[in-house]
Amino acid sequence: MDFFALMQSQVGFFLLIFVRISGIFMMMPIFSSRNITGRVKAGFALIITYILFPLVFSKTAVIPDDFLPYLFIVAGELLVGLILGFVSSLMFSAIQMAGQLLDMQIGFGMINVIDPLSGQQAPIIGNFKFILALITFLATNGHHVLLSALFASFKLIPVTGVVVNVAVTEFMVDMIGGMFVFALKISVPVIVSLLLTDMALGILARTMPQMNIFVVGVPGKIIIGIFVLSMALPFYIFFLEMAFDGMYKNIFRLLSFF
């Protein structure tokens, strides 16, 4: 192999690593934040690619000379990165979903705030739970685990060796279903307490028709919901740590399907 062919192979391999890392950063929590500009993301992905290139470079990897076959390999690397980033963001999506459900039950359904990370409107309690989960994620060095999973992906799924398995789709469907279950588990204490409050208000409305239940019930549900939510916060943090451990296991399990 002459010098030009060697350089062509290394540059092609370098770009494939860069594409996979860019795909992960497009979906991964924190790194996909809108507060981080595209140039910063591209520069950070380029730095990590430069660091990982000597560690994952393989002389046996075949880099096609034609554009179309190389484009298919690029699409495969981008798909792996997007799937890994999507799996790592599912937990945070479930937390926002649980917060939105709680907002509707407590009475904050019509009040939204701007989420600085996504640039979209988010419910108040959902945004609070999301920020708290993000702090817990950083405090437990979750971003370090995601970066280690990024490095492990090149060991388990070599560059130019991406083979999509049918089990990946089944596993993704199970994870998305588990996201709804996780959101419901987070919301159960407040939902049950508010359900009991609605039952008590219904009994009160039947026994005292002259009382304006709407005036009493709306602030009452807000007070009870916030009180139960504050009482459940320590258990919420503990539950988050267990959920993040499960997320890391799911990421490495997903890598084994390719």
105: tokens are: 């039950």
Average pLDDT over residues 58-85: 80
The total of other beta-carbon atoms located within 10 Å of residue 33's CB is: 16
Is the model's pLDDT at 127 over the cut of 80? no
| Mean per-residue pLDDT over the chain, rounded | 78
Contact 123, 108 (CB under 8 A): yes
- In whole angstroms, give the CA distance from residue 237 to residue 228: 15
Q: How far is CA 23 from the centre of its chain?
A: 14
pTM > 0.85: yes or no: no
- Is 180 in a helix, a strand, or coil? helix
Q: Which of 171, 190, 181, 83 is nearest to 129 (CA)?
A: 190
- In whole angstroms, give the CA distance from residue 152 to residue 23: 15
3-27 vs 142-156: helix axis angle to the nearest 10?
140
pLDDT at position 9 is 64
The total of other beta-carbon atoms located within 10 Å of residue 147's CB is: 16
pLDDT at position 112 is 62
- One-character DSSP codes across 152-173: HHHHHS-TT-----HHHHHHHH
213-231 vs 67-106: helix axis angle to the nearest 10?
120
Helix or strand run (H / E) with residue 114: strand 112-114
107: tokens are: 């009475």
Q: Which of 107, 90, 101, 78 is nearest to 28 (CA)?
A: 90
Dump pLDDT digits (tens) for 175-198: 888 888 888 888 888 888 888 888
User: In this structure, what DSSP letter does residue 35 have?
Assistant: T
- In whole angstroms, give the CA distance from residue 223 to residue 192: 15
pLDDT at position 203 is 82
- Is 118 in a helix, a strand, or coil? coil
Contact 146, 28 (CB under 8 A): yes
- Is 60 in a helix, a strand, or coil? coil
Dump pLDDT digits (tens) for 195-252: 888 888 788 778 877 777 777 777 778 888 888 888 888 888 888 878 888 888 888 8
- Is 121 in a helix, a strand, or coil? strand
